[in-house]
Amino acid sequence: MSEDYNCMPMHSHDKHYYDGDWQAPSGADTIEVLSSATEQVVGRVPRGSAEDVDHAVKAARRAFGSWSQVPVEERAQWLEKLAAALKPRVPQIAEAISHEVGTAIGYSKKVQAEFPVMMVGMNARFIRNAKLEEELGNSLVVKEPVGVVGCITPWNYPLHQVVCKIGPALAAGCTVVLKPAEAAPLSAFMLAEAAHEIGLPAGVLNIVSGDGPVVGEAIVTHSGVDMVSFTGSLRAGRRVAALAGDDIKKVCLELGGKSAFIVLDDAPFDKAVPAGVNNCMQNSGQTCSAWTRMLVPRVRHDEAVELAKAQLAKLTLGDPFDPDTRLGPLSSARQREIVLGYIEKGRAEGATLVVGGGRPASLPTGYYVEPTIFSNVSPSMTIAQEEIFGPVLSVIPYDTEAEAIRITNDSIYGLAGGVWSGTKERAMAVARQLRTGQVDVNGGRYNPLAPFGGYKKSGVGREIGPLALDEFFQLKAIQQ
């Protein structure tokens, strides 16, 4: 562990945040937050109950009437104040998430901390520019806030995923009850501190920490919750959708991915293949949209594998607080075992292990897995079909462009992907045939204005950008 982070202060919170203040939990049980690099306790938060959720939802319900009527400009200003209060906390947020998730500190500062803070402020601009009323014939169609929104977020990008939900929800005039991931809750409590500091009206943002089966399900089933926005696994998403369906609640689900990156035969392999490796390995593979399947022409398969191997060698695995580290540990011992289990399946099913495949001997402490490449992967293999959520790349050969498109679309998921060709026109033609929510063409840069979400079992609804606001509105037609 790098010297500057050897003595990370304990982030201990013994209260939930709801109704505009810190509230004692109904029970005394707590959740220990572990560092993924040291396996030591770095924080504690309350293990909430259905009773705590009930208090938080009632606070949100009371606040909704007034918050939904707050003028758009005033709501936008509150978001800007919240972003300003979060900005000085960026170093602390990045440090906490690097411990919780294993994210390398450089990536953590930019992506896990600075970007979400920026997104809070961006939602102020989105709501200012939103068209909330439209005349259609003799009707006035009005967009109104959906109500109290229950938000349940994952551990891999803990603040980012929170902001993707609460930013547009608050901008739209909704109030929120949030359950952060139990494995990575610390940044949510820093968000609560910032909200309290600026005096955000009581009940607008409410946070109850705890586990999914108790706190998560209490939020989803509470009669005072009008909508549920969930990000997590397909298994958990099915459960959320089923529970919400009993009350006919609106749901927004951002679930898994098994994204493919098609390298066409006329692509510049020296640029395309390294870009594909970097995308797959971001956040040590703990990214739902990561390009974990690299499709390459069969006649150039071996060339692509060598380029991938060379690029992977540049991505240093190690202490997430070392500035030279590109890949840190995984988030937990459980996640490490899941990933190692998939690697064993890849071997057993006949894929060729090119590099990696185990726990690094030089890093006996921490939840590390060697970054791994499999070649000669068949599209039907488990590692080509199921989400691994770790640093594992599958290189899949294809014979024709049509076959590459078919392999890409032969997945229960459809979250993201990429195409690289020698010409933009050819890449765009392929991109239009992919059944997926986002596609990057020839190294297209990330766009924070673009909607994010998936086809098929990758989810329902969209997050990020101005179009994300629509998830938090109901439509009312007033005939005149």
pLDDT tens across 345-402, in order?
A: 999 999 999 999 999 999 999 999 999 999 999 999 999 999 999 999 999 999 999 9
Contacts of 229 (CB under 8 A, 6+ apart): 149, 150, 151, 152, 165, 169, 251, 252, 461, 463, 471
Q: Per-residue pLDDT averaged across 8-25, rounded?
A: 89
Beta bridge partners of 473: 145
pLDDT at 6 over 50: no
CA distances (Å), origin 48, targets 58, 157, 206, 208, 323: 16, 22, 13, 6, 36
Predicted confidence (pLDDT) per residue in 315-345, tens digit = 999 999 999 999 999 999 999 999 999 999 9
Report the mean per-residue pLDDT for the chain. 96
- Which strands make up the sheet holding 30-34, listed edge to edge? 11-12, 41-46, 30-34
Per-residue pLDDT band at 257 (split at 50, 70, 90): very high
Q: For the chain, give the percent of residues with pLDDT over 70.
A: 98
CA atoms within 13 A on the CB side of 270: 0
Q: Are strands 16-18 and 21-23 parallel, antiparallel or unpaired?
A: antiparallel
Q: For the chain, give the percent of residues with pLDDT over 90.
A: 98
Residue 131 burial by Cβ neighbours in a 10 Å radius (0-12, 13-18, 19+): exposed
CA distances (Å), origin 150, targets 21, 349, 440: 19, 41, 31
pLDDT at 10: 63
> Under a CB-based contact definition with an 8 Å cutoff, are residues 340 and 359 in contact?
yes
Q: Per-residue pLDDT averaged across 182-193, rounded?
A: 98
Q: Residue 318: helix, strand or coil by DSSP? A: coil
pLDDT at 167 over 90: yes
> For the residues of 408-475, what is the DSSP string, one character each?
HH-SSEES-EEEE-SSHHHHHHHHTT--SS--EETTPPP-TTS-B--EETTEES-BSSGGGGGGGEEE
Rounded (5°) CA angle 134-136-138: 115
C-alpha span between 405 and 387 (Å, rounded) = 19
**CATH T-level fold of 259-451:** Aldehyde Dehydrogenase; Chain A, domain 2 (3.40.309)
C-alpha span between 414 and 345 (Å, rounded) = 23
- Which strands make up the sheet holding 372-375, listed edge to edge? 352-355, 372-375, 392-398, 291-297, 259-263, 417-420, 440-441
Helix or strand run (H / E) with residue 152: strand 148-152
Helix or strand run (H / E) with residue 291: strand 291-297
Q: Are strands 139-145 and 473-479 parallel, antiparallel or unpaired?
A: antiparallel
C-alpha span between 356 and 181 (Å, rounded) = 29
Q: What is the DSSP letter of 4?
A: G
**CATH T-level fold of 3-255+459-479:** Aldehyde Dehydrogenase; Chain A, domain 1 (3.40.605)
Q: Which residues are catalytic?
A: 254, 288
Q: Are strands 133-136 and 139-145 parallel, antiparallel or unpaired?
A: antiparallel
Rounded (5°) CA angle 46-47-53: 100
Predicted confidence (pLDDT) per residue in 70-101, tens digit = 999 999 999 999 999 999 999 999 999 999 99
φ, ψ of residue 141 in degrees (nearest 5): -95, 120
pLDDT at 48: 98
pLDDT at 11: 83
C-alpha span between 219 and 210 (Å, rounded) = 11
pLDDT at 253 over 50: yes
Predicted confidence (pLDDT) per residue in 404-458, tens digit = 999 999 999 999 999 999 999 999 999 999 999 999 999 999 999 999 999 999 9
Backbone φ/ψ region at 285: left (φ over 0), alpha (ψ -120 to 50), beta: left
Predicted confidence (pLDDT) per residue in 192-211, tens digit = 999 999 999 999 999 999 99
Other C-beta atoms closer than 10 Å to the C-beta of 246 total: 9
Q: Are strands 205-207 and 175-179 parallel, antiparallel or unpaired?
A: parallel
C-alpha span between 109 and 114 (Å, rounded) = 6
Report residue 196 as tokens. 């309290």
φ, ψ of residue 476 in degrees (nearest 5): -125, 130
- Which strands make up the sheet holding 205-207, listed edge to edge? 21-23, 16-18, 205-207, 175-179, 148-152, 227-231, 250-254, 459-460
Residue 34: closest CA among 183, 144, 177, 181: 183
Domain edges within the chain: 3-255+459-479, 259-451
